[in-house]
Amino acid sequence: MLENITQVQTARNALASATLATDQLSAVQQLTETVTQARNLYDVMYVVATKLWQSASITANATAVLDTEIANDLIPSSRGRVAIIDSEQTRIRSAAQTVVDQTNVIYSTLDDSGIDVFPNQLKIRNDQYQADKTAANAQSIQLLLTNSTTMHADIGPALANTLSASAAAATAANNLSAAPGDPLLAAAAANAATALGTYINALQATIDSSRINRHYSELIPYAAQLNTLNDLIISSPTSSNANILAAKLTETKTLLQSIRTGASAILASQNTSLSAIDQAVTAARASIDYPLINSTTSSVVSSINALVNTMIINDDNLTRTSLASAIGDFKTEQATFAALSIASSSARVPYAVSLQNVTVDLKFWSNLIVAEADSLARQAKGVPIAVGEEFSKVTPLSTSAYQIADNALASSQNAATAVQAYINTPTAAKQTAASTALSDTLSTAGSLLSAASTLDTSLNSSASSALPIIWLSSRCDAFRDTADSWWNNNQWKNLVFYQISDAIRSATPGRLQVNQSGNYRVVVINAGRALSGQNRGTRTAANFFEGINADTSRNVDATAPTLTFINQSPSATFNDRLAY
């Protein structure tokens, strides 16, 4: 997001400084491109925030139902007896299972988005506390921190210090409220408030510094390919294979060098991997000592796997780690209650209480995510929609970054037309029209930068694992998820599939073959109309493709699909269309 803001600012500055019409035309065209990227970025952010809001809302509602059920069941009878009778146990089990069914969805959606709601929630609560240093506001901060957990080597200690400071601030504020005129208590409360503010700032700074620009999954294919090439060295120790390995090691080093973070544990592990790569590259390029090549490359693979593990453990996303912890605790208690075989209704009570406690924790995070996702969706484009509603029908809010970017895009396109008209026929009237249009473009671009900065302030995120494609040109507008286009309306996206040779591109040829020949890196299949026996309601390869194209290895996640395809002339039994 910051990169795009910089691009828009740079393009706007270039336009503002351009004096010749030809330079103005070039500058406004460049601005058009960056504004298009900005608009499409906010469009994707809206989709991501909305999907997160949808899954979190379902989880929040499910936990609320369960919490209410348990609370009602724990109300003492008229004789003061508390018990969980059979019908209540059945209802609790059913409601708890509903929550469990949703937990994987909310976690995967949060994980894919990379959104971290913790920093903004901490800022909101701290702003409230700084404006009114009451015990309640300090306890609000304390509640957030108490429900948060992390294994991050740097964030963990900062979180613990801030939690202690919030408890001290709450106690000091409580003491002062009991004796508001006591100067010593007033001084203690002021000092505690100052200390809390200092620790909060330090925690926020630590989180910001710990952000990492790469997802650990990007490293895994490199380790796998190095391992394969190392096996090749063992079976065929030739200088040619050593050179191929050296090239892959160098490529891997470039990837590792691109990792940017302030996390101490990750930096240490990164340096270990880079040092191991240097030794392996030296050995591979020498092409003399093949056992040394093997051992040094094995060390590289081990170090990369260790780096991946370090990145997983030192997760900079406090919402993700805290939600995972809450889900884990809930599943443990839910499984215990589901397997409960105690006949005594009163003996079931402690288990219900334990289940309710973890339900409250999960509900806490679900509601925070709902609120944050709703705010982000509105800032990005519009009001989040319910599951099943069409993204193409969403009306952008006038104050949203998307709408402001769309206005800037229209203005820049109009300015380009006006400047081109002046260049074609340089009259005074057309010069005035071009000047007016350019002035409007500069103004709308300025509004866009303001809206983008506001959105960036509230958006906190770590490396995402599965963000939707961000189309960088208006020529691709038909493919946006939110577009009211022939692509979406006619569901063409359900008929187009692709397979890539490898997770990462390398110097080696592609491995995909069509009609038993070729070394292709990618094959795209457009499924034709459903043939006899194909049921498109079930998403299996056989219901869309024919021949080897329909191999069962292409079903579900297709983690190891066959590398072969077939291409034939259309017939009653084959209508796949391939591009490769």
- DSSP states of 406-465 as a string? HHHHHHHHHHHHHHHHHHHS--HHHHHHHHHHHHHHHHHHHHHHHHHHHHHHH--B---S
Calpha distance 126→132 (Å, rounded)? 10
pTM confidence score: 0.86
Q: Report whether CATH 1.20.120.230 matches the domain 2-46+389-458.
A: yes
Calpha distance 385→49 (Å, rounded)? 10
Residue 187 sits at the vertex; the CA angle it makes with 181 and 189, to the nearest 5 degrees, is 90
Pull the structure tokens for residue 511: 């491995």
Find out whether 190 and 175 touch, Cβ atoms under 8 Å. no
Task: Give the pLDDT of residue 236.
Answer: 95
AA letter at 203: L
Q: 514: which strand partners? A: 517, 565
Q: 577: which strand partners? A: 526
Task: Give the pLDDT of residue 506.
Answer: 66
Helices (H), 287-426: 290-313, 318-338, 349-380, 401-424
**Nearest one of 107, 147, 77, 91 to 337, comparing CA atoms:** 91
Task: Give the pLDDT of residue 484.
Answer: 79
Q: Report whether CATH 1.20.120 matches the domain 216-313.
A: yes
Calpha distance 536→528 (Å, rounded)? 11
**Nearest one of 374, 311, 421, 296 to 21, comparing CA atoms:** 421
Task: Give the pLDDT of residue 469.
Answer: 73
Tokens 């910051």 — which residue? 2
30-39 core/surface letters (b: 16 or more CB in 10 A; e: else)? bbbbbbbbbb
* SS3 assignment for 96-143: HHHHHHHHHHHHHHHHHHCECCHHHHHHHHHHHHHHCCCHHHHHHHHH
Task: Give the pLDDT of residue 2.
Answer: 80
DSSP string over 211-268: --SS-GGGTHHHHHHHHHHHHHHHHS--HHHHHHHHHHHHHHHHHHHT-----HHHHH
CA distances from 412 to 115, 429, 450 (A): 31, 19, 17
Q: Which residues, at least 6 apart from 349, have a Cβ–Cβ distance to it below 8 Å?
A: 74, 82, 83, 84
- Altogether, the residues listed in the chain come to a count of 580
Calpha distance 534→540 (Å, rounded)? 9
**Angle, in degrees to the nearest 10, between helices 349-380 and 118-131:** 90
pLDDT tens string, the chain, 580 residues long: the values are: 788 899 999 999 999 999 999 999 999 999 999 999 999 999 999 999 999 999 999 999 999 999 999 999 999 988 889 999 999 999 999 999 999 999 999 999 999 999 999 999 999 999 999 999 999 999 999 999 999 999 999 999 999 999 999 999 999 999 999 999 999 999 999 999 999 999 999 999 999 999 999 999 999 999 999 999 999 999 999 999 999 999 999 999 999 999 999 999 999 999 999 999 999 999 999 999 999 999 999 999 999 999 999 999 999 999 999 999 999 999 999 999 999 999 999 999 999 999 999 999 999 999 999 999 999 999 999 999 999 999 989 999 999 999 999 999 999 999 999 999 999 999 999 999 999 999 999 999 999 999 999 998 888 888 877 667 777 677 777 777 787 777 777 778 788 999 998 876 666 788 999 999 999 999 999 998 899 899 988 889 999 999 999 999 999 888 889 999 999 999 999 999 999 9
Task: Give the pLDDT of residue 507.
Answer: 63
